[in-house]
Amino acid sequence: MSQQIMLEVVTPHRLEFQKEVEYVVAPTVDGIVGVLPGHIRLITQLATGVLRYKIDGQNNYMAVSEGFMEVTPHKVIILAEAADLPEDVDAEQALEEKRQAEEALHHSFTEKINFDQAEIALKRAATKVELAKKYGENK
């Protein structure tokens, strides 16, 4: 058995995921960061995007939103606002969320709504759409 590292994904609501994995590749504000067992300690800001991890030689994926990632030699902790596995994403609903977020973003220029919140909602929805299309059961 190869070396493994514990991956924990935590949202404000619950512990979403906790398993031993072979590696983690995470989206951060500074770019993509790959983590193998024995990695040096690191704390970085997480970006909205697709998290990749390998279990038993197979790549797995999860949509994560903004947050933080803490890395130790034996553990990766993802603290994210939201996290979704491909099987939990309804592609039709994700497309509708994306459409609504794009509309809200468009209206943020003409009405007094929060541009930042609309932009975050759009990034989350677009990531869920990408996850469902590329890695979902109905790909």
Place of tokens 């930042």: 116
Q: Please tell me the predicted confidence (pLDDT) of residue 112.
A: 58
Identify the domain containing residue 127 by its residue range.
89-135
Judge if 62 and 49 occupy the same domain: yes
Q: Please tell me the predicted confidence (pLDDT) of residue 91.
A: 77
Judge if 80 and 95 occupy the same domain: no
H or E stretch covering 72: strand 67-72
- As a whole number, mean pLDDT of residues 100-119 equals 70
* Residue 64, C-beta contacts closer than 8 angstroms, at least 6 positions apart: 9, 26, 27, 46, 48, 49, 50, 51, 78, 80, 82, 83, 127
Q: Is the pLDDT of residue 113 over 80?
A: no
Judge if 12 and 77 occupy the same domain: yes
Tell me if 4 sits within 8 A of 22, measured CB to CB: yes
**Structural domains of the chain, count:** 2
Judge if 18 and 57 occupy the same domain: yes
Judge if 80 and 93 occupy the same domain: no
pLDDT band at 129; cut points 50, 70, 90:
confident
Judge if 33 and 71 occupy the same domain: yes
pLDDT band at 123; cut points 50, 70, 90:
confident
CATH number of the domain bearing residue 124: 1.20.5
Judge if 64 and 107 occupy the same domain: no
Please report the beta strands in 1-46, taking only residues with DSSP state E, as ranges in sequence order: 5-10, 15-21, 23-28, 31-35, 42-46
What six digits make up the tokens of 95?
A: 């497309």
- As a whole number, mean pLDDT of residues 31-57 equals 97
Average pLDDT, the chain: 88
Judge if 72 and 100 occupy the same domain: no
* Residue 112, C-beta contacts closer than 8 angstroms, at least 6 positions apart: none
Q: Is the pLDDT of residue 2 over 70?
A: no
Q: Please tell me the predicted confidence (pLDDT) of residue 1.
A: 42
CATH number of the domain bearing residue 9: 2.60.15.10
Q: What's the pLDDT tens digit per position in 50-71?
A: 999 999 999 999 999 999 999 9
Tally Cβ neighbours within 10 Å of residue 117: 13
Judge if 30 and 53 occupy the same domain: yes
Q: Please tell me the predicted confidence (pLDDT) of residue 92.
A: 83
Q: Is the pLDDT of residue 110 over 90?
A: no
**What pTM was computed for the model?**
0.76
